[in-house]
């Protein structure tokens, strides 16, 4: 992606004035000037930084490194009616993200060099940096390994069969062992295998969380244990192989407790959680509205509380959206046949600031430099805001209140579960390699 730095090094200098800079070094009042794709000056008073060709107002705002989403479905190639890399990246920029990690369950799947290259090429012109993952197994079928070395050479740093978990423990073990020998292809960084934890036999026929609500509604349920058994297994496999396991979209109290214990034991595991798993419960399904159908499913209050606690104490490293666009036609199918998933890119910041009782510095950490480290893109994203650093930035107004509208989003899909909800906190500007891709909440291209 470093080619972009040169490609957009036009348009003069921009000053972001009046905000509070929040990065991995702390918080301070400062103006920020960018030019040639990089931060050129940072200073507490306007007199301290040089004049710029253009000024973006950040008064009352947080100026942060661009956000990083470890988990998005951009649907291209295959379902361009639901989302494209172009529209998905625009939504990402509107949500303050300068980098997204694209899941491999496209059609065809990202399990070979040709498809990964296609996604990289389409992403090169997008409103944010798009980093494709690749499948762990050929066709995401859980049997033979994808050409992981070849794909690592292309830049893939996370492998996952997301949408499905790798069911066979031996296949997962071999994949972890093989990935452990690929660091030389990744600048010395360890490749991570990300797991969608779901034991298929236990979740089969389940369309929501198994519990009081599924029993009452007559819908098949997925027990929490379907997720927890695979979390348990993969912690054991991380111990066995020494390779990195990243747990995707944790949703249960039991999963959080196991990851907490694994980290205390020093095992190489990381975890993410989605905004919907810390804001919504399985009771939402009572309307039978499929906008609330998602995998892993929405869980009861106790699990929501455990996810919040895991985010607060650092057990969960990152907030990831699992942005999953689906057309209205697909979502209007009956609950048992509608596809799972919900939009997430444009509501993540607002939900984190409205719903999590965390200092804004911690929210930004969960959404920027910590996921950047997991994705091994922390040379470009989640950087400290200091001269010579890449100018991937977002400006967040933590006080702005706004009402969620699926129709107003960049995605051609509208499956937000927060329709009509009022959130506090919104992205005002986003800069990608120095280029303002969002100004005052409006996409610039």
Partner 1 sequence: MSPSGRDRPRQHLLSINDLVRPDLERILDLTESFAEVSERAIPRVPALRGKTVAWLFYEDSTRTRLSFEAAAKQLSADTLNFTVRSSSVNKGESVRDTVQTIDAMGIDAIVVRHSCAGVPHRVGNWIDASVINAGDGRHEHPTQALLDLYTARTHLGDLDGARVAIVGDILHSRVARSDVLAFAAMGAQVTLVAPRPLLPSSLDGWPVTVTHDFDDILGEIDICYLLRMQLERQASALVPSLREFRAEYGLNSWRADRLAEGALIMHPGPMNRGVEIDGDVADRPNAVITEQVANGVAVRMAVLFLLLGSGLDQAAGQKEIAA
- Going from the C-alpha of 29 to that of each of 18, 288, 335, 360, 388, the distances in angstroms are 8, 48, 49, 14, 19
Which listed range, 67-75, 241-249, 281-289, 358-366, lies at the site for partner 1 (CB under 8 A)? 281-289
Minimum separation from the CB atom of position 97 to partner 1 (A): 33
397 is catalytic: no
Minimum separation from the CB atom of position 293 to partner 1 (A): 11
Q: Using the minimum distance from each CB to partner 1, give the nearer residue, 29 or 333.
A: 333
Q: Does residue 200 interact with partner 1 by CB under 8 A?
A: no
Minimum separation from the CB atom of position 362 to partner 1 (A): 35
Cis amide prior to 120 (ω within 30 degrees): no
Minimum separation from the CB atom of position 419 to partner 1 (A): 14
Which listed range, 130-138, 144-152, 182-190, 218-226, lies at the site for partner 1 (CB under 8 A)? 218-226
Please give the span between the terminal C-alpha atoms of the chain, in angstroms, as a whole number.
19
Q: Does residue 301 interact with partner 1 by CB under 8 A?
A: no
Considering only residues 327-346, where is the footprint of partner 1 by CB under 8 A?
329, 332-337
Q: Does residue 288 interact with partner 1 by CB under 8 A?
A: yes
Tokens standing for 60?
């009352």
CA separation for the pair 178, 176 (Å, rounded): 5
Tokens standing for 179?
């990935």
Minimum separation from the CB atom of position 218 to partner 1 (A): 3
Q: Does residue 283 interact with partner 1 by CB under 8 A?
A: no
Q: Using the minimum distance from each CB to partner 1, give the nearer residue, 48 or 336.
A: 336
CA separation for the pair 83, 22 (Å, rounded): 32
Sole binder of partner 1 in the list 186, 217, 236, 257 (CB under 8 A): 217
Which listed range, 98-106, 191-199, 204-212, 233-241, lies at the site for partner 1 (CB under 8 A)? 204-212
Minimum separation from the CB atom of position 336 to partner 1 (A): 4
Q: Does residue 212 interact with partner 1 by CB under 8 A?
A: yes
Sole binder of partner 1 in the list 10, 287, 401, 422 (CB under 8 A): 287
Closest CA to 131 of 78, 88, 172: 88
Residue of 69, 322, 330, 397 marked active site: 322
Return contacts of 259-266, CB within 8 angstroms, 24+ apart: 259/231, 259/235, 259/310, 259/315, 259/316, 260/310, 260/313, 260/315, 262/235, 262/238, 263/315, 265/239
CA separation for the pair 231, 245 (Å, rounded): 10
Catalytic positions, written as ranges? 322
Q: Which residues bind partner 1 (CB under 8 A)?
A: 210-212, 214-221, 223, 287-289, 329, 332-337
């Amino acid at each position: 992606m470093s080619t972009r730095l040169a490609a957009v090094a036009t348009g003069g200098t921009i000053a972001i004035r009046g905000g509070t800079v929040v990065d991995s070094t702390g918080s301070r009042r400062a103006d920020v000037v960018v030019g040639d794709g990089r931060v050129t000056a940072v200073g507490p008073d306007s007199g301290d930084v040089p004049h710029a060709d253009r000024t973006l107002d950040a008064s009352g705002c947080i100026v942060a490194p661009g956000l990083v989403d470890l988990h998005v479905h951009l649907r291209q190639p295959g379902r361009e009616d639901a989302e494209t890399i172009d529209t998905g990246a625009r939504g990402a920029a509107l949500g303050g993200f300068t980098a997204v990690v694209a899941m491999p369950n496209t059609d065809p799947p990202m399990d070979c060099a040709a498809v990964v290259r296609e996604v990289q090429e389409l992403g090169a012109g997008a409103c944010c940096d798009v980093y494709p993952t690749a499948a762990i197994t050929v066709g995401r079928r859980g049997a033979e390994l994808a050409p992981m070395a070849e794909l690592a050479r292309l830049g893939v740093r996370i492998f996952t069969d997301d949408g499905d978990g790798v069911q066979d423990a031996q296949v997962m073990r071999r994949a972890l062992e093989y990935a452990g020998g690929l660091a030389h292809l990744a600048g010395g960084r360890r490749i991570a295998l990300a797991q969608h934890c779901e034991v298929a036999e236990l979740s089969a026929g389940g369309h929501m969380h198994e519990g009081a609500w599924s029993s009452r509604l007559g819908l098949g349920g997925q027990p929490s244990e379907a997720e927890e058994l695979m979390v348990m297994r993969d912690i054991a496999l991380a111990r066995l192989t020494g390779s990195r396991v990243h747990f995707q979209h944790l949703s249960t109290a039991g999963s959080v407790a196991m990851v907490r214990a694994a980290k205390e034991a020093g095992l190489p595991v990381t975890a993410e959680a989605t905004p919907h798993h810390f804001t919504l419960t399985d009771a939402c399904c009572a309307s039978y509205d499929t906008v609330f159908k998602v995998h892993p499913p929405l869980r009861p209050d106790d699990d929501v509380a455990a996810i919040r606690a895991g985010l607060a104490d650092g057990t969960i490293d990152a907030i990831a959206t699992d942005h999953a666009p689906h057309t209205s036609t697909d979502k209007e199918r009956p609950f048992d046949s509608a596809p799972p998933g919900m939009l997430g890119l444009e509501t993540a910041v607002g939900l984190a600031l409205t719903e999590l009782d965390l200092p804004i510095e911690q929210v930004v950490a969960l959404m920027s430099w910590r996921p950047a480290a997991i994705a091994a893109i922390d040379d470009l994203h989640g950087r400290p805001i200091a001269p010579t650093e890449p100018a991937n930035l977002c400006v967040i107004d933590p006080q702005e209140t706004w009402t969620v509208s699926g129709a107003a989003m960049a995605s051609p899909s509208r499956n937000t579960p927060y329709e009509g909800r009022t959130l506090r906190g919104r992205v005002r500007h986003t800069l990608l390699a120095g280029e303002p891709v969002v100004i005052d909440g409006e996409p610039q291209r």
